[in-house]
């Protein structure tokens, strides 16, 4: 009977190996319990198996009291009594390792009170969610219990806030598979000047979502469209084609349809607003208009900074948002070409926010400068805490400022892909833009996992494989590897080998055939004309006589040069195929002794 236990290899949850000096008592008892036929049947008879069973069972019973930590394996029928198996979480493309709180570098250096308040803001939509998410993620709905505990407390002390996270979460060091660190960048909310109407100064429109823009699975009444995937426009009643790209929209493909929200001074300002996803537009009368991401045209985002690096315009170590803006302002024609390398185009909607309110993230809650991050929404759940540790150029381009802060996932972005990838929100304004523009650094990510998903206790419910038999049993029943079946050659390889063997055999027999062709009589079983054909093919210049002479005169030796002239290496030919019926031109000496049946008799038998 086959065991139902799962075999797990290479896991950090695996048990420690037994000592080499002594074998654990009862290590082979699982094989002798109810599976004697499967373990000993192929080697022993019934009597020998019964004798060994009795001896090992008695030895195991004597040694069992001496082992205090021995845990006998359960019978397959008793496995269901242990309860359901809770498998540890899986993060696609990611690897993680559990840590202790004292192993988290810089954990006690941060003030977690701002992070606690940011987490409480994310808990409002989490607590309001009644049904599980449509797309299954690693954390699922496990944040609901910590959110209930957070909303029940009002913490303003650092020690109590740190105690709250240590009590409700488990730290996991997370990264992409094969890597030891993640990657962080920064973003901000630009503040630019604009106008409600088009003028000579403000002539670059900011468009809202067009009515002919369609995304599969979403209706036109949806509050917001996804930032990834295909986007179409309708032609006629049913035909759908890809939407316009950046070049077509800048050339006026959707102009004059009343889609303009505000007007800006330059296309460079619009490009950076589209990269950041939100902006504050300062009007001429001093009022502020807040715009936020609404939809995109379906084309993937192409970083314009990468184009400048590939063209050797800006060195890679000097690339920043300020360098891109400087190049575009100094080269208007080059800026137009550079923008159109990025075919992606973003549409906005106007949001009702006060002038001092922070931007609203993808979760639907206001972001917190220095505490909110954008993550890959296909892997992570909004509201997940992450502790990020690294050295970032916060103060200047060349500085390595220690960054050790607890962050909350509240936003996303089309360029944020991976389990350990984050975009840090730094607030609004020019100074926040300078700090965010120079961030592109590695950092270590520690994800705070709710205790309900702690992989250590969940891993203990996973069944382990049976113990290996002891060395004594292994010597009694040695295992030999089965003989591997011969590998069959492919038809091409077999044909090549056959051709090589035929060529070698023909080359060996070639001198004998050429020297004795005239003296060899035709075999009895082969017709005379077959020997004629063979001889004529091998030596076409020398005709073969019908009757061999009785005696042959000795041939005088000749010079080596004269001998080498008539002999030539002819191409080996296959032997003539034997003929089934004698030809009319065959000599009379080869006639068969058996009488030949008449045709009339054959036809008569066929008719009967």
pLDDT tier at 238 (50, 70, 90 boundaries)?
confident
Q: Tell me the average pLDDT across 151-165.
A: 92
pLDDT at residue 526 above 60? no
pLDDT at residue 21 above 90? no
More confident of the two residues 122 and 509: 122
For residue 177, tell me if it sits in a domain: yes
For residue 425, tell me if it sits in a domain: yes
Q: Are 115 and 201 in a shared domain?
A: yes
Q: pLDDT (tens digit, 9 = 90+) per residue, 385-441?
A: 999 999 999 888 888 889 999 999 999 988 899 999 999 999 999 899 999 988 999
Q: Are 472 and 348 in a shared domain?
A: no
Q: Are 284 and 181 in a shared domain?
A: yes
**pLDDT at site 54:** 39
pLDDT tier at 118 (50, 70, 90 boundaries)?
very high
More confident of the two residues 498 and 227: 227
For residue 430, tell me if it sits in a domain: yes
What are the residues whose beta carbons fall under 8 Å from the beta carbon of 318, sequence distance 6 or more?
A: none
Q: Are 45 and 119 in a shared domain?
A: no
Q: Are 457 and 471 in a shared domain?
A: no
pLDDT at residue 199 above 50? yes
Tokens of 141: 């709905």
- For residue 421, CA distances in Å to 38, 122, 315 come to 51, 20, 24
Q: Are 73 and 99 in a shared domain?
A: no
Do 450 and 142 meet the contact criterion of CB atoms below 8 Å apart?
yes
pLDDT tier at 79 (50, 70, 90 boundaries)?
very low
User: Where are the extended beta strands (E) located within 417-572?
Assistant: 421-428, 440-450
**CATH number of residue 242's parent domain:** 2.40.40.10
Q: Are 225 and 81 in a shared domain?
A: no
Least confident of 54-63, 374-383, 582-591: 54-63
pLDDT tier at 9 (50, 70, 90 boundaries)?
very low
Tokens of 551: 């005696």
Do 102 and 94 meet the contact criterion of CB atoms below 8 Å apart?
no
Q: How many domains does the chain have?
A: 2
pLDDT tier at 204 (50, 70, 90 boundaries)?
very high
pLDDT tier at 484 (50, 70, 90 boundaries)?
low
User: Rounded CA gap, 329 and 342, in Å?
Assistant: 18
Gyration radius from the chain CA atoms: 43
Burial environment of residue 143 by CB neighbours within 10 A (0 to 12, 13 to 18, 19 or more): buried
Q: Are 230 and 287 in a shared domain?
A: yes
For residue 536, tell me if it sits in a domain: no
Least confident of 22-26, 360-364, 467-471, 522-526: 22-26
Note down the domain range covering 139.
Answer: 86-302+342-461
For residue 154, tell me if it sits in a domain: yes
Is the pTM for the entire model greater than 0.85? no
**pLDDT at site 598:** 52
pLDDT at residue 71 above 90? no
Give the three-state DSSP class for 409.
strand
pLDDT tier at 216 (50, 70, 90 boundaries)?
confident
More confident of the two residues 455 and 283: 283
pLDDT tier at 175 (50, 70, 90 boundaries)?
very high
Q: Tell me the average pLDDT across 78-93.
A: 66
pLDDT at residue 183 above 80? yes
Do 150 and 169 meet the contact criterion of CB atoms below 8 Å apart?
no
Do 471 and 23 meet the contact criterion of CB atoms below 8 Å apart?
yes
Q: Are 149 and 273 in a shared domain?
A: yes
More confident of the two residues 439 and 598: 439
Q: Are 116 and 225 in a shared domain?
A: yes
Q: pLDDT (tens digit, 9 = 90+) per residue, 256-277?
A: 999 999 999 999 999 999 999 8
Q: Tell me the average pLDDT across 538-565.
A: 42
Domain final position from 461, 493, 520: 461
Domain final position from 444, 476, 508: 476
User: Rounded CA gap, 274 and 526, in Å?
Assistant: 92
Do 369 and 427 meet the contact criterion of CB atoms below 8 Å apart?
yes
Q: Tell me the average pLDDT across 68-80.
A: 43
Q: Are 361 and 466 in a shared domain?
A: no
For residue 165, tell me if it sits in a domain: yes
- For residue 233, CA distances in Å to 230, 254, 549, 593 come to 10, 12, 99, 93
**pLDDT at site 523:** 44
Give the three-state DSSP class for 285.
coil
Q: What percent of the chain is predicted at pLDDT more than 70?
A: 62
Domain final position from 441, 476, 511: 476
Which of 166, 175, 77 shows the shortest CA–CA distance to 116? 166
Whole-number mean pLDDT of the chain? Answer: 74
pLDDT at residue 462 above 90? no
Least confident of 45-49, 258-262, 465-469: 45-49
Could you tell me where the DSSP H helices lie in 417-490?
A: 430-437, 455-460, 471-476
Least confident of 286-290, 318-322, 538-542: 538-542
More confident of the two residues 478 and 204: 204
User: Rounded CA gap, 513 and 534, in Å?
Assistant: 11
Total residues found in the chain within this entry: 608
Tokens of 269: 């300002």
pLDDT tier at 189 (50, 70, 90 boundaries)?
very high
For residue 58, tell me if it sits in a domain: yes
User: Rounded CA gap, 106 and 461, in Å?
Assistant: 33
For 224, phi and psi rounded to 5 degrees?
-155, 150
Could you tell me where the DSSP H helices lie in 170-266?
A: 246-250
Q: Tell me the average pLDDT across 339-362.
A: 90
For residue 259, tell me if it sits in a domain: yes
Q: Are 466 and 436 in a shared domain?
A: no
pLDDT at residue 516 above 60? no
């Amino acid at each position: 009977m086959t065991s139902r236990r799962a075999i797990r290899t290479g896991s950090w949850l695996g048990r420690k190996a037994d000592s080499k000096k002594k074998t654990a008592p009862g290590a082979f008892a699982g094989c002798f319990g109810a599976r004697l036929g499967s373990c000993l049947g192929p080697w022993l008879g019934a009597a020998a198996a019964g004798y060994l069973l009795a001896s090992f069972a008695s030895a195991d019973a004597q040694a069992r009291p001496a082992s205090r930590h021995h845990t006998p394996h359960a019978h397959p029928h008793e496995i269901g009594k242990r309860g359901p198996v809770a498998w540890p979480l899986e993060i696609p493309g990611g690897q993680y390792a559990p840590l202790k709180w004292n192993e988290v570098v810089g954990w006690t250096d941060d003030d977690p009170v701002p992070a606690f308040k940011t987490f409480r803001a994310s808990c409002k939509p989490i607590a309001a969610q009644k049904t599980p998410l449509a797309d299954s993620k690693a954390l699922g709905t496990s944040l609901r219990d910590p959110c209930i505990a957070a909303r029940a407390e009002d913490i303003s002390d650092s020690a109590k806030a740190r105690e709250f996270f240590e009590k409700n979460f488990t730290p996991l060091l997370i990264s992409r598979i094969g890597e030891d660190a993640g990657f962080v960048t920064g973003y901000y909310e630009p503040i630019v000047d604009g106008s409600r109407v088009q003028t000579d100064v403000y002539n670059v429109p900011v468009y809202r979502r067009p009515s002919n823009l369609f995304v599969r699975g979403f209706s036109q009444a949806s509050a917001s469209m996804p930032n990834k995937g295909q986007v179409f426009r309708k032609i006629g009643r049913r035909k759908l084609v890809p939407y316009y790209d950046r070049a077509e929209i800048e050339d006026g493909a959707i102009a004059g349809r009343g889609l303009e929200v505000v007007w800006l001074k330059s296309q460079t300002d619009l490009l950076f607003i589209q990269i950041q996803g939100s902006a504050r537009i300062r009007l001429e009368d001093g009022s502020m208009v807040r715009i936020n991401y609404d939809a995109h045209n379906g084309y993937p985002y192409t970083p314009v900074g990468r184009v400048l690096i590939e063209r050797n315009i800006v060195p890679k170590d000097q690339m920043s948002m300020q360098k891109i803006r400087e190049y575009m302002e100094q080269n208007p024609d080059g800026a137009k070409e550079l923008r159109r390398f990025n075919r992606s185009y973003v549409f906005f909607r106007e949001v009702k926010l006060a002038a001092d309110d922070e931007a609203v993230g993808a979760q639907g809650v206001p972001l917190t400068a220095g505490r909110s991050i954008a993550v890959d929404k296909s892997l992570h759940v909004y509201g997940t805490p992450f502790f990020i540790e690294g050295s970032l150029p916060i103060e200047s381009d060349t500085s390595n400022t220690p960054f050790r802060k607890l962050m909350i996932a509240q936003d996303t972005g089309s360029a944020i892909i991976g389990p350990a990838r984050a975009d840090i929100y730094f607030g609004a304004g020019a100074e926040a833009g300078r700090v965010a523009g120079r961030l592109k650094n590695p950092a270590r990510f520690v994800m705070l996992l709710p205790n309900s998903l702690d992989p250590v206790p969940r891993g203990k419910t996973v069944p382990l494989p049976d113990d290996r038999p002891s060395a004594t049993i292994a010597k009694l029943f040695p295992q030999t590897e089965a003989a591997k079946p011969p590998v069959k050659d492919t038809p091409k390889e077999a044909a090549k080998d056959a051709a090589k063997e035929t060529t070698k055999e023909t080359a060996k027999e070639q001198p004998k055939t050429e020297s004795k062709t005239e003296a060899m009589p035709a075999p009895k079983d082969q017709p005379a004309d077959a020997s004629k054909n063979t001889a004529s093919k091998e030596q076409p210049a020398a005709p073969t006589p019908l009757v061999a002479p009785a005696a042959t005169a000795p041939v005088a030796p000749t010079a080596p040069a004269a001998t080498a002239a008539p002999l030539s290496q002819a191409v080996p030919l296959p032997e003539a195929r034997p003929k089934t019926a004698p030809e009319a031109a065959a000599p009379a000496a080869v006639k068969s002794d058996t009488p030949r049946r008449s045709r009339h008799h054959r036809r008569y038998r066929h008719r009967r």
